[in-house]
C-alpha cells in the first residue's frame, strides 16, 4: 500500500484544522510497520482514512491511497464494503466498546465468517472455533458462547484479533491494540502477534504511542508529527540512529529501566494544532537545531540509505551530542 | 523522630454481594494487610502493580479519602484513623493528592484562579490581595504563566492541567503528596516535563511522595524505595535500585521483564505469564500468585508466604525467594 500527499482537514467552530498532511507512507507486503506519534499527530486519522471511516466533519482534500494498485479514495461506498472488513481489517484500542455487550462474542465472529465466505452456519461456526484456537484462547467452544463481560481484557482483545483475521485480510490496522492492557497481558498479546505472523500473510500497521512496544514488535517504524511522517526506517535505524531531531528527543525523554537520570531531557512546548498551514517545518518552534530555512520552507523527505527517510533540512538532522548521562544507547 | 508515614496491617475490603437486608456476603479484598513506611522527608516511595492490585485504593485509604477496614496509619507519629474531624482537617493540610486524569480532576466551570484558591480559602481563610499573590506564586512554582490565572481548564493542554492540579495540591504547603499515576494520561514529551517538575519541587520543598504507577520506568526514575503489589498485598519491597535490577519475587521478575524497552536489541527477553490476575473477591488461600507462577511448588498452594527481610532492607514474600526464574 502507498499513501501519497494525503490531506485531510476537519471543519470545526474554530475554523479548519489540518489533521493530516501526509506526504509519503508505504506499507510493504507482510511487514509490521509501527506508526508512532503523540496525541494528535494523525496516527489514527491515517488508519481511518485508509478504511474511509472518517467522520462527516472530516474532508479529504487531496491525495491518493493506493492499495494493491487501486486508489481507495476513488472507490464508491459499495466497493469499499468489499474491501473493508475483508481485505483490510482493523483492531481497535478498547475491546470492550468494540464488542456488543448483549451478544455472545461468537455471534459477530460467526456472522462475519458466514457473510464473507458464504458458507453454512455450521461451517462458519467451526471456522470461528478454529480462529479462536489460533489466537490461543483456552476452550474456544466455551469462549464462542461467552458474553464480553465474562472475558478479561486480554481475552477480549484476542477475540478482536481473531475477528480481524477471520477474513484472511491483506492488511491489518491495529490501533493501540495493547494500550488498554496491563503490561503482563500486553506481553502476551505481543507474543501472540509475533507467533501469528507465520500463519497469516497480512501486512500489519501497528499504531501506538509507546516506543517500547514498537521496538518490540515492528520491522519498520514511521514517526508522525503534526499530521506528517517525519521519519521512517528500519526499527534498528530509528532507535539506534534517529535522523530527525523529534525522534531523537522523544527517545531521550522516556525514562528507561536501568538508567536513572537526574532530569529528563524535555521537548519544550506542545504538539501544535495546525489551523493555518504554514510553509515551514511544523517542528520548527520546538526544534533545538532549527535553521532559518526551516521556518520558510517545508523539508522534503530524503533517503539516508537503506530506506531510512528523514524530513529535515539539517543534512542528517542529528542532534548535537547530548550531555546528560545515559543518552541513547542502552 | 517518628517516621513521616507508617502503615501497619492496613486492610480495605469492599462489599460486593449483599443479601436483601443489606449484609455483605462476600468481600473484595482490595488492600489486604499492607505494611509500609516512608522514613525520611524528601523521599519517594513507589507503588508498582497492575490494574486491580489495590494500589489506588491504598493511596486513598492512606489519605483517609476512603475508610479503612482495619490497620493503623501513622502520619508523623499520630494514628490518623483515630483522629476526629477537626484534627483530621488539620492533618490534611500536610497530605495532598495529585490525580491521574487532569481532565476530570478540575471543575470545568471555575477559573484556574478559583481552583487553586479554594484550599487557601477553606483552610487559611485568605482573601483579597493576599490570596491573589499566593495563587500567582503557586502558578509560577509549577511553571504556569500569571496571565493564565483567569482561564478555564478546557483552555489548557493535558500537561498544563496537570500543573494546575499540582499547584492546587501545593497550596497548603503539604509535607506529603500521593501521586496517583500522575503522568499516565499524558504524552511522552509532556510526561518528561511533569516528572522533572515533580522532582524539582521535591528538591526545593522537601516533599515526600507516594508514587503510584503501573509504569516501572517511571517508578524507577522517581522512587527511592519501591513496593510491588499483587492482589492487595505487597510481594516485594526495598531500595528502588535493588528491586528494579535484582527482583526476587517471580511476579516482580515477570512484571519487570514485560516492560517494553525502547531498544529493538532487547527483544524476546520477557517472561510471559500465563492467565490473568485472579479475582480479589475471596482471594485464594496460600500464595496469591500461585495460579500464574512459573516456579510454583506444592507448598505455595497451602501456605501464604509472609513478607520477610532477605537482607539489606530487601523484603520479599515468596517461599522460594531468590530461587526464582
Angle between helices A106-117 and A153-165 (to 10 degrees): 10
Question: CB-based contacts of B106: which residues, under 8 Å, 6+ apart?
Answer: B115, B153, B161, B164, B165
**Inter-chain touch B264–A210, beta carbons under 8 Å:** no
Pick from A62-71, A103-112, A239-248, B15-24: least confident: B15-24
- Residue A327 is predicted with a pLDDT of 35
B-contacting residues of A 69-108, CB under 8 Å?
Answer: none
- As a residue count, chain B comes to 325
Confidence of residue A330 (pLDDT cuts 50, 70, 90): very low
Confidence of residue A293 (pLDDT cuts 50, 70, 90): confident
- Residue B269 is predicted with a pLDDT of 77
The DSSP secondary-structure symbol of B51 reads T
Q: How many CB pairs under 8 A join A and B?
A: 129
Which H or E run includes B72?
A: strand B70-75
CA distance B286 to chain A (A): 22
**Inter-chain touch A254–B188, beta carbons under 8 Å:** yes
Pick from A179-188, A276-285, B83-92, B300-309: least confident: A276-285
CA distance A318 to chain B (A): 18
> For the CA atoms of A158, A163, A168, A172, what is the dihedral angle to 10 degrees?
-70
CB A282 within 8 A of CB A225: yes
Q: Which residue of B has its CA nearest to A255?
A: B217
For A195, other C-beta atoms within 10 Å of its C-beta total: 12
Residue A202: closest CA among A87, A112, A49: A87
Cell matching residue B183: 503522568
CA distance B204 to B206: 6
- Residue A322 is predicted with a pLDDT of 45
A324 by Cβ neighbours in 10 Å (0-12 / 13-18 / 19+) ranks as exposed
From the list B50, B190, B264, the residue facing A184 with the nearest CB is: B50
CA distance B34 to B13: 13
**CA angle, B18 as apex, B12 and B23 as ends, to 5°?**
75
3-state percent helix, strand, coil for chain B, nearest multiple of 5: 35, 25, 40
Pairing of strands B78-79, B95-98: unpaired
CB B232 within 8 A of CB B32: yes
**Inter-chain touch A257–B244, beta carbons under 8 Å:** yes
The DSSP secondary-structure symbol of B291 reads G
- Residues of B within 8 A of A261 (CB-CB) are 221
CA distance A146 to B251: 29
- Residue B26 is predicted with a pLDDT of 83
Cell matching residue A164: 480481524
Map residue B163 onto helix, strand or coil. Answer: helix
- Residues of A within 8 A of B244 (CB-CB) are 257-258
- Residue A323 is predicted with a pLDDT of 39
Selected residue with higher pLDDT from A100 and A321: A100
A208 touches chain B (CB under 8 A): no
Pairing of strands A171-175, A203-208: parallel
From the list A154, A266, A271, the residue facing B193 with the nearest CB is: A266
B88 touches chain A (CB under 8 A): no
Please give, one letter per residue, the 3-state secondary structure of chain A.
CEEEEEEEEEEECCEEEEEEEEEEEECCCCCEEEEECCCCCCHHHHHHHHHCCCCCCEEEEEEEEEECCEEHHHCCHHHHHHHECCCEEEECCCHHHHCCCCCCCHHHHHHHHHHHHCCCHHHHHHHHHHHHHHCCCCCHHHHHCCCHHHCCHHHHHHHHHHHHHCCCCCEEEEECCCCCCCHHHHHHHHHHHHHHCCCCCCEEEEEECCHHHHHHHCCEEEEEECCEEEEEEEHHHHHHCCCCHHHHHHHHHCCECCECCCCCCCCCCCCCCCCCCCCCCCCHHHCCCCCHHHHHCCCCEEECCCCCEEECCCCCCCCCCCCCCCCCCC
A151 touches chain B (CB under 8 A): no
Evaluate whether the domain defined by A2-87+167-311 bears CATH number 3.40.50.300. Answer: yes
From the list B51, B188, B244, the residue facing A253 with the nearest CB is: B188
CB A255 within 8 A of CB A262: no
**Inter-chain touch B188–A239, beta carbons under 8 Å:** no
**Inter-chain touch A215–B214, beta carbons under 8 Å:** no
> A8 - beta bridge partners?
A20, A60
CB B81 within 8 A of CB B72: yes
- Residue B164 is predicted with a pLDDT of 94
**Inter-chain touch B51–A182, beta carbons under 8 Å:** yes
CA distance B269 to B267: 6
From the list A184, A216, A253, the residue facing B273 with the nearest CB is: A184
CA distance A305 to A236: 13
Per the listing, cell 543518552 goes with A327
Residue A152: closest CA among A103, A185, A110, A196: A185
B-contacting residues of A 178-197, CB under 8 Å?
Answer: 182-188, 190-191
pLDDT at A232 over 80: yes
- Residue A300 is predicted with a pLDDT of 85
Q: Which whole number is the average pLDDT over A104-130?
A: 89
CA A290 to chain centre: 28
| Complex ipTM value | 0.82
For B270, other C-beta atoms within 10 Å of its C-beta total: 23
Q: Which whole number is the average pLDDT over A151-163?
A: 90
Q: Which residue of B has its CA nearest to A264?
A: B192
Confidence of residue A182 (pLDDT cuts 50, 70, 90): confident
Pairing of strands A2-12, A58-67: antiparallel
Map residue B6 onto helix, strand or coil. Answer: strand
CA distance A131 to A110: 10
CA distance A66 to A22: 14
Confidence of residue A138 (pLDDT cuts 50, 70, 90): confident
Which H or E run includes B70?
A: strand B70-75
> B46 - beta bridge partners?
B211, B226
| Residue pLDDT tens, chain B, 325 long | 788 999 999 999 998 877 777 777 788 899 999 999 998 889 999 999 988 889 999 999 999 999 999 999 999 999 999 999 999 999 999 999 998 888 889 999 999 999 999 999 989 888 888 999 999 999 999 999 888 889 999 988 888 999 999 999 999 999 999 999 999 888 888 899 999 999 999 999 999 999 999 989 999 999 999 999 999 999 999 999 999 999 999 999 999 998 888 888 877 778 888 877 788 887 888 899 998 999 988 999 888 999 988 888 899 999 887 544 4
CA distance B99 to chain A (A): 18
| Average per-residue pLDDT for chain A | 87
**Inter-chain touch A264–B195, beta carbons under 8 Å:** yes
Whole-angstrom Cα Rg for chain B: 21
- Residue A326 is predicted with a pLDDT of 36
To test the contact with chain A by mutation, choose from B264, B269, B275 the residue with the greatest count of A C-beta atoms within 10 A, namely B264
- Residue B71 is predicted with a pLDDT of 94
Per the listing, cell 470545568 goes with B108
> A32 - beta bridge partners?
A204
B132 by Cβ neighbours in 10 Å (0-12 / 13-18 / 19+) ranks as middle
Map residue B190 onto helix, strand or coil. Answer: helix
- Residues of A within 8 A of B181 (CB-CB) are none
pLDDT at A329 over 80: no
Map residue B79 onto helix, strand or coil. Answer: strand
Confidence of residue A110 (pLDDT cuts 50, 70, 90): very high
Cell matching residue B245: 535490577
The domain segmentation of chain A, as residue ranges, is 2-87+167-311
Cell matching residue B269: 527477553
Q: Which whole number is the average pLDDT over A105-133?
A: 90
Confidence of residue A118 (pLDDT cuts 50, 70, 90): confident
Task: Give per-residue pLDDT as tens, A302-320.
Answer: 888 888 999 988 755 455 5
Amino acid at each position: 500500500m502507498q499513501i501519497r500527499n494525503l490531506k485531510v482537514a476537519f471543519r470545526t467552530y474554530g475554523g479548519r484544522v489540518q489533521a493530516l498532511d501526509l506526504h509519503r507512507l508505504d506499507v510493504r507486503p507482510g511487514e509490521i510497520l509501527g506508526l508512532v506519534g503523540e496525541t494528535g499527530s494523525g496516527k489514527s486519522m491515517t488508519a481511518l482514512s485508509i478504511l474511509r471511516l472518517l467522520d462527516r466533519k472530516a474532508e479529504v482534500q487531496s491525495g491518493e491511497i493506493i492499495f494493491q494498485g487501486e486508489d481507495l479514495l476513488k472507490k464508491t461506498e459499495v466497493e469499499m464494503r468489499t474491501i473493508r472488513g475483508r481485505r483490510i481489517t482493523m483492531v481497535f484500542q478498547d475491546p470492550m466498546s468494540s464488542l456488543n455487550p448483549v451478544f455472545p462474542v461468537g455471534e459477530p465472529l460467526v456472522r462475519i465468517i458466514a457473510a464473507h465466505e458464504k458458507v453454512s452456519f455450521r461451517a462458519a461456526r467451526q471456522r470461528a472455533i478454529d480462529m479462536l484456537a489460533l489466537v490461543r484462547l483456552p476452550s474456544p467452544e466455551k469462549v464462542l458462547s461467552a458474553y464480553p463481560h465474562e472475558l478479561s481484557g486480554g481475552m477480549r482483545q484476542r477475540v478482536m484479533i481473531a475477528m480481524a483475521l477471520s477474513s484472511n485480510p491483506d492488511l491489518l490496522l491495529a490501533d493501540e491494540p495493547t494500550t488498554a492492557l496491563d503490561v503482563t497481558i500486553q506481553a502476551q498479546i505481543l507474543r501472540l502477534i509475533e507467533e501469528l505472523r507465520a500463519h497469516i500473510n497480512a501486512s500489519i500497521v501497528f499504531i501506538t504511542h509507546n516506543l517500547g512496544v514498537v521496538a518490540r514488535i515492528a520491522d519498520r517504524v514511521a514517526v508522525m508529527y503534526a499530521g506528517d511522517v517525519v521519519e521512517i526506517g528500519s526499527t534498528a535505524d530509528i532507535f539506534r540512529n534517529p535522523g530527525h531531531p523529534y525522534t531523537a528527543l522523544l527517545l531521550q525523554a522516556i525514562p528507561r529501566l536501568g538508567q536513572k537520570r537526574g532530569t529528563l531531557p524535555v521537548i519544550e512546548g506542545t504538539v501544535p494544532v495546525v489551523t493555518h498551514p504554514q510553509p515551514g517545518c511544523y517542528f520548527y518552534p520546538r526544534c533545538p537545531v532549527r535553521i532559518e530555512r526551516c521556518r520558510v520552507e517545508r523539508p522534503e523527505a530524503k533517503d539516508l540509505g537503506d530506506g531510512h527517510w528523514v524530513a529535515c533540512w539539517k543534512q542528517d538532522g542529528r542532534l548535537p551530542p547530548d550531555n546528560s548521562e545515559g543518552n541513547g544507547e542502552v | 523522630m517518628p517516621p513521616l508515614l507508617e502503615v501497619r496491617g492496613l486492610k480495605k475490603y469492599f462489599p460486593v454481594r449483599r443479601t436483601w437486608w443489606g449484609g455483605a456476603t462476600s468481600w473484595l479484598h482490595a488492600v489486604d494487610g499492607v505494611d509500609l513506611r516512608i522514613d525520611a522527608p524528601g523521599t519517594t516511595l513507589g507503588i508498582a502493580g497492575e490494574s486491580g492490585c489495590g494500589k489506588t485504593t491504598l493511596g486513598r485509604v492512606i489519605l483517609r479519602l476512603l475508610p479503612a477496614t482495619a490497620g493503623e496509619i501513622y502520619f508523623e507519629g499520630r494514628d490518623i484513623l483515630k483522629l476526629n474531624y477537626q484534627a483530621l482537617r488539620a492533618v490534611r493540610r500536610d497530605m495532598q493528592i495529585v490525580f491521574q486524569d487532569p481532565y476530570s480532576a478540575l471543575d470545568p466551570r471555575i477559573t484556574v484562579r478559583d481552583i487553586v484558591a479554594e484550599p487557601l480559602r477553606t483552610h487559611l481563610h485568605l482573601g483579597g490581595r493576599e490570596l491573589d499573590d499566593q495563587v500567582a506564586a503557586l502558578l509560577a512554582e509549577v511553571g504556569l504563566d500569571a496571565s493564565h490565572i483567569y482561564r478555564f481548564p478546557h483552555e489548557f493542554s493535558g500537561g498544563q492541567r496537570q500543573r494546575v492540579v499540582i499547584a492546587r495540591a501545593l497550596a497548603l504547603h503539604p509535607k506529603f503528596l500521593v501521586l496517583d499515576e500522575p503522568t499516565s494520561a499524558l504524552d511522552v514529551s509532556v510526561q518528561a516535563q511533569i516528572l522533572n517538575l515533580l522532582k524539582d519541587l521535591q528538591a526545593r520543598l522537601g516533599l515526600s511522595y507516594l508514587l503510584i504507577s503501573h509504569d516501572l520506568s517511571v517508578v524507577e526514575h522517581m522512587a527511592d524505595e519501591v513496593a510491588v503489589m499483587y492482589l492487595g498485598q505487597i510481594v516485594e519491597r526495598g531500595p528502588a535500585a535493588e528491586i528494579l535490577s535484582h527482583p526476587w519475587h517471580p511476579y516482580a521478575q515477570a512484571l519487570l521483564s514485560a516492560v517494553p524497552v525502547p531498544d529493538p536489541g532487547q527483544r524476546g527477553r520477557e517472561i510471559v505469564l500465563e492467565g490473568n490476575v485472579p479475582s480479589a473477591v475471596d482471594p485464594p488461600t496460600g500464595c496469591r500468585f500461585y495460579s500464574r507462577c512459573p516456579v510454583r511448588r506444592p507448598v505455595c498452594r497451602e501456605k501464604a508466604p509472609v513478607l520477610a527481610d532477605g537482607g539489606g532492607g530487601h523484603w520479599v514474600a515468596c517461599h522460594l525467594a531468590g530461587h526464582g526464574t
